[in-house]
Amino acid sequence: MRELYPEIEPYDQFRLQVDDLHELHVEQCGNPDGLPVVFLHGGPGAGLSAYHRRFFDPARYRVVLFDQRGAGRSTPHAELRDNTTWHLVADIEAIRERLGIERWVVFGGSWGSTLALAYAQTHPQRVFGLILRGIFLGRPHEIRWFNELDGFARHIFPERWARYLAHIPEQERGEMIEAYWRRLDSDDPDVRLAAALAWGNWEGGSTTLVHDPDEAGTQEDPRVAVSVARAEAHYFRHGVFLEPGQLLRDVGRIRHLPATIVHGRYDMICPVANAWELSQAWPEATLRIVLAGHSAADPAIVDALVTAADALRDRFS
């Protein structure tokens, strides 16, 4: 089993003003003369973690990472104005142009896979290849799968779902995302934070193959919880700013590009059927279904992603 590359620090960090409101945190690590790759984090709203740098051979890759609008060290924090899928696609292009990169590998997991597909389908001439993990295509039934009463994930994690449900009065439970949004968009910071922590406990604790129903989850940090919950609810209630089925419909624009799709068999946040359907529309891509959940840190996911990154490294550098 492949493991992550050793810990590494950026050799370059900068701020990029992308409009009158938003300023992004951008960093680079690895080899400045290596094969460029852009890392697209999940959420939306989750921001970068140090381990995100470690999927790539630092001797052969020039790794570009950034906090998306409203996330991590980008500012304003948790800001949703001018924050859509298409703003983020434009931001990726702005970063590429700022760095003088002609083409790069695009690597994204979960929400990052959505954004990677949207970017590559918009700018296929700028992409060497794609590595995608935990496929989320932004379709209405995918959004409801995890967050609503008519979804399925609640049957797998009943203890955790009970806490998510308990935060919302019974008369509002027919549309949980909208009910949470009313609280996440409240003028009262205490109301916003309580809703964000409840949202984060449900999602952030449901990512791994081995599940502890009492674990706090990955979004217990108040700052992260607020940015993730607000961004996710904002994107979900707007259908991720995509036409239904758009990413499958437009896959023909990128079928000529090499791609690996990695998905955990027991991913309860983004069900494996998403990856299967994408692979059926894109038969040239390599599909790897592994014994894992949703988390990029599950060992089988790490193994598949590092292997895929090494393969593109050897192909293009």
Catalytic residue set:
110, 267, 294
Cα distance between residue 118 and residue 96, in whole Å = 16
Peptide bond into 169 cis (omega under 30): no
Q: Three-state secondary structure along the chain?
A: CCCCCCCCCCCEEEEEECCCCCEEEEEEEECCCCEEEEEECCCCCCCCCHHHHHHCCCCCEEEEEECCCCCCCCECCCCCCCCCHHHHHHHHHHHHHHHCCCCEEEEEECHHHHHHHHHHHHCHHHEEEEEEECCCCCCHHHHHHHHCCCCCHHHCCHHHHHHHHHCCCHHHCCCHHHHHHHHHCCCCHHHHHHHHHHHHHHHHCCCCCCCCCCCCCCCCCHHHHHHHHHHHHHHHHCHHHCCCCHHHHCHHHCCCCCEEEEEECCCCCCCHHHHHHHHHHCCCCEEEEECCCCCCCCHHHHHHHHHHHHHHHHHHC
The reply to whether omega before 10 is within 30° of 0 (cis) is no
- In 3D space, the residue among 143, 141, 175, 147 whose CA is nearest the CA of residue 160 turns out to be 147
Counting Cα atoms < 13 Å in the Cβ hemisphere of 33 gives 0
> Which residues have a Cβ under 8 Å from the Cβ of 220 and sit 6 or more positions away?
197, 200, 201, 204
